[in-house]
Amino acid sequence: MRIAVTGSIATDHLMTCPGRFSDQLVADQLHTVSLSFLVDQLDVSRGGVAANIAFGMGQLGTRPILVGAAGAAFDQCRAWLDRHGVDTDSVRISETLHTARFVCTTDAHHNQIGSFYTRAMGEARLIELKTVAD
């Protein structure tokens, strides 16, 4: 029996800021927040719940089927997943949108500001699961 794993395929961009976010906030001006932080560390990694679960299952020798949507720049990630035991044939590749991306900045006190860009992931609704099962 094959197992299909559905969900997000993303890239994570994790940054650290040596200061505190709260030092940049002005109490009586919270209605017009415009902030910029100097970060001293950036880690870019493969992410997405489905991709991570499929990777783990691939490492256990189960050869899961990854079902989701990604952008045109998915080629390197696809090759890496394939090498690690994941069947990526059911990943839909968007011709116009970027792969989902999570961007998170963490300050010195472990407060976080995060953003999630979904775009290509939205095309997953166009995947026919019946064709995956066949």
Domains and CATH numbers, the chain: 4-23+38-128 (3.40.1190.20)
pLDDT truncated to tens, each residue of the chain (134 aa)? 899 999 999 999 999 999 999 999 888 888 898 999 999 999 999 999 999 999 999 999 999 999 999 998 999 999 999 999 999 999 999 999 999 999 999 999 999 999 999 999 999 999 999 999 88
* Residue 47: partners with Cβ closer than 8 Å, 6 or more residues away: 8, 10, 11, 12, 102
Nearest-5° angle of CA 103, CA 53, CA 45? 30
User: From edge to edge, which strands make up the β-sheet containing 65-70?
Assistant: 4-6, 65-70, 91-93
What local confidence, expressed as pLDDT, does residue 134 receive?
Answer: 81
* Residue 128: partners with Cβ closer than 8 Å, 6 or more residues away: none
Read off the pTM: 0.88
Which of 37, 47, 40, 54 has the alpha carbon at shortest distance from 13? 47
